[in-house]
Every structure is written in C-alpha cells, then in structure tokens.
Chains A and B, each alone.
Chain A
C-alpha cells in the first residue's frame, strides 16, 4: 500500500491560511491504513485546525468528508457537493489522490495534507517499511523476494557493498542490509547460486526515469 504521513500542523495551517471555507477530504484506502487520512484523522485534524483558528480569532469554516478512494471518479463524485460548498480542499490522500481531485475540480484549490512517503508494508503495529519503488520491472525472483533497488541504500544489484556490518546498512542503524536479507533468503531457499549470477544494469526506462508512466489495459478498454 501507499504509505503517507500527515504534514505538520504548522505547515497545514500555512497552506490553508488564505481560505475561508475548507473541506478536509479523507481517503478510506491506503492512507487510512497508515493512519494519515481516514475518517479519524480527518476528524482530528479538523478539530485541531478549528482550535488553531479559534485561538487566533480567525473565522474559517471547516467541513469534514471522507470518501472510499480519492483516486477513482466514482468515489470522487460523492464528494462534489461538499467540495462545491467550500473554497478549498485539503486532501488527506496520497499525491495521486490529491491530483485526481484537483483535475476534477478546476476552480477549487486542492491542497495536500499528507506527505506521500512510499509504497510499503505494515511491518508490525505502527511500523511501516518501504518495500517497493515501483520500478516497473520486478526482478524479485532472483533476489529471493527482497528488493535491492528499494531496500539497498545504493540500489546495488550485485551484492553488498563494503559498508554492511552485522546485517546493518551503513546508512542507518535502523536499516537492515538488504543484501544480508537477500543472502539469508537465498540460503534458506537453496538458491545461493543466484548470488554468483552477474546482474546486468537495471533498465530504468520502465521506471519513473522514462517519464511519467501510463498503463493501458487494452482488454479493458472498449
């Protein structure tokens, strides 16, 4: 899922500052799961903002609304009435959601309330880890299911660098060395021979380096 994190209150306050009627729009999918933009977060943020504005004597009306997914028209449409009533929208969706809302409502500023962080996994309660960079060409099969492109700080494809110590990456003591994990996995799978394979340079054209991507499923288009 896409992991995001709510922006600091001060920043949100800054960006919504110019508007008088604000809709805080939540998204019930990924950002809800990572507690950045579901119903609860919308309510909490709205409450906090109201307190800020009340304290500063500003009169800003705040409305709350949450839709199932902000990246899909059918759901966005449900918010159109609420959006119409306001002069700005603070979207708590991921960047895709913010843009999807923005492109549907040309005349209303859509502001991001969440920093979209990465594609990740709920590792354990309250801990999210980045696991995928969306490179567009998955090669996890040879890496024993651990992605060196995302999880190795140097995107190394042919084994660990010299900075790995006790399975920890040189970048941060909180970061496991992806290559350590790959090696362990391959050992457990009996595929250590993969380590001897030379992995040729990554073709980045399928990733974001090839410009914004577009996926067309011809079979779904009529």
Chain B
C-alpha cells in the first residue's frame, strides 16, 4: 500500500504577521497536515523549538514572520531569520536537509500569500520526502 505522502508541517507564526482566519482555510487543505504555534513575536522562535518540531515528527517547519521593517519589536523578524539560518545549518549537518525549514515574511492578513507560501513548502517537502528522523 503506497499512501500518497501528506507532509506534516509545523507552522510557527507571529500573531502580528499572520491572520488566524486565513490559517483556517489552510487547515482545510487535504494535502497537508498543519500544526500551528502562535508566537507573540517571531523572536520567540528558539533554535530548540524548531528542532523539537522535527523531533515530534514534522516533515517541515515553516516560520512566518513580519517583514523586517514592520516588526513591532524592531528586531524580532531579523532575529528569527538568523536563528532559522542557524538551524538550517544544523539540519544540514544532521542530514535532514536545511530546506525542510524555511522562513518567510508575510504581512498581516494576506491569506493569498500565505496559501502560496504553503503550497511552495508542500512542493519542497514532497520533493524531499518524509522526515527520516520522524
């Protein structure tokens, strides 16, 4: 039995960058399983949270943050980006492939963009296959 691969994505998002109602439509999509983690600011993404998402079985992790010049905490998005970059390297070292983790800037409430980002992520993950460490 070869079930089609349905990627599990953990979505970290800054509550300021991403409209909750938009996420509902994404949850409805049936080619992907999404677990969302709301962050009051994307700077709360710690390295370990990203790694733990993979540990708990995510095939991919997507971090949605505000555009860099729109962060309410000024530096949050930049920090998030740096941390993600760091963890991408760690994932490469682990052999999980850093592409499983991505960070994107979205401005609040733009559901169409987030949908597109998500589909792109799904495409990348379909390419990479399931998380080998899951």
Contact = CB atoms under 8 A, between A and B. Distances in A.
Interface of A: 8-10, 40, 43-44, 47-48, 50-52, 54-55
B133 A44 contact: no
B97 to A, nearest CB: 11
B94 A51 contact: yes
Nearest to A50: B55
B115 interface: no
B46 A48 contact: no
B96 A51 contact: yes
Interface in B4-51: 46-48, 51
Interface residues of B, number: 15
A38 to B, nearest CB: 12
Contacts of B134: 54
A8 B48 contact: no
Main secondary structure of the interface of B (DSSP, over half): helix
Contact of A9 (B47, B54, B55, B93): B93
A24 B130 CA distance: 28
A9 to B, nearest CB: 4
A54 B133 contact: yes
A54 B47 CA distance: 18
Nearest to B83: A44
A52 B48 contact: no
B47 A52 contact: no
B96 A55 contact: yes
Contacts of B93: 8-10, 48
Contacts of A8: 93
Contacts of B95: 52, 55
Given A8-B93, A9-B93, A9-B94, A51 B48 contact: no
Contacts of A50: 55
Nearest to A8: B93
Contacts of B132: 55
Given A8-B93, A48-B51, A52-B94, 17 more contacts: A9-B94, A10-B93, A40-B46, A43-B48, A44-B47, A44-B48, A47-B52, A47-B55, A51-B51, A51-B55, A51-B94, A51-B133, A52-B95, A54-B134, A55-B95, A55-B132, A55-B133
20 contacts: A9-B90, A40-B46, A40-B47, A44-B47, A44-B48, A44-B51, A44-B90, A47-B48, A47-B55, A48-B90, A50-B55, A51-B51, A51-B55, A51-B96, A51-B133, A52-B94, A54-B55, A54-B133, A55-B95, A55-B132
